[in-house]
Amino acid sequence: MATKGKKYQDSVKLVEKTKLYDSAEALGLVCQTAKAKFDETVEVHVRLGVDSRHADQQVRGAVVLPNGTGKKVRVLALVKGDKAAEATAAGADYVGAEEYIEKIQKENWFEFDIIVTTPNMMGLIGRLGRVLGPKGLMPNPNAGTVTMEIGKAVTEAKAGKIEYRLDKSNIIHCPIGKVSFGTEKLNENLNTLMTAIIKAKPAAAKGQYIRSCVLASTMGPGVKVNSAKLG
């Protein structure tokens, strides 16, 4: 296994491995240890005390981060009729129906970050499940991406709406902004996300819900957060 570079090794020395930091201090360290030449993304990794194999213990939803994600989001609206005009007016990058579904199927086209659609289109989009599902691109009512309020869905996606969902090891991985945002804005985004995750706690979840929370920049070391003080 390749060893990490000198910048990373220097960054690791600044972080106490066993310490649980409060979120503001942790984010300060994440920004301090981000040494790459590009504006690194800050991610949060939250391990939950649930079992994602059970349908009644799924945790999934979406939230608009108050300061956005710092990423330009390309929105594909799979809609027809007056909803197409609504999507265009709201700033969707691509608007259409069958022609885009075919483009994804035949050309393996993925020049977008999120799909919004209406419930009556899901029969057509369902056939894309095998290609959209593994990429996390399948629209979902819980995430607000299958809705009759298409204009609102496009606007929120552009404003920094993110989807959170458990992976197979019961961890949620989410971007909460860029290093250039600074500690205060990142902390606002983190608290908004954590509040949403806590509210989404399944009734079937037993014991400690938030098991651990780690913050890290794209190239930097992980910083453990005192999860008892989050949300």
**Strands ordered across the beta sheet of 94-96:** 94-96, 75-78, 114-117
Question: Could you count the other beta carbons within 10 Å of the beta carbon of residue 128?
Answer: 18
Distance CA 93, CA 139 (A): 16
Distance CA 173, CA 215 (A): 10
Highest mean pLDDT among 76-80, 136-140, 162-166, 221-225: 76-80
Residue 148 identity: M
Could you tell me the fold of the domain covering 6-68+162-229?
A: Ribulose 1,5 Bisphosphate Carboxylase/Oxygenase (3.30.190)
Percent of the chain with pLDDT over 70: 94
Name the 3-class secondary structure at 178: strand
- DSSP type of residue 38: S
Q: Does position 195 have pLDDT exceeding 50, yes or no?
A: yes
**Sign of torsion, CA 123 125 127 132?**
negative
- DSSP type of residue 89: H
Q: What is the pLDDT of residue 11?
A: 67
- In tens, the pLDDT along 180-194 reads 999 999 999 999 999
Q: For the whole model, what pTM was predicted?
A: 0.81
- In tens, the pLDDT along 46-66 reads 999 999 899 999 998 999 999
Average the pLDDT over 62-90 and give the result.
95
Percent of the chain with pLDDT over 90: 77
Q: What is the CATH number of domain 75-159?
A: 3.40.50.790
pLDDT range class, residue 212, cuts 50, 70, 90: very high
Dihedral in degrees, nearest 10, Cα atoms 64, 159, 75, 215: -60
Name the 3-class secondary structure at 16: coil
pLDDT range class, residue 206, cuts 50, 70, 90: confident
- DSSP type of residue 227: G
- In tens, the pLDDT along 125-180 reads 998 999 999 898 999 998 899 999 999 999 999 998 998 999 999 999 999 999 99
Taking Cα atoms as reference points, which of 209, 76, 218 lies closest to residue 154? 76
The first and second tokens of residue 228, run together, are 């008892």
Q: Does position 2 have pLDDT exceeding 60, yes or no?
A: no
Residue 228 identity: A
Distance CA 100, CA 81 (A): 15
Domain extent listing, the chain: 6-68+162-229, 75-159
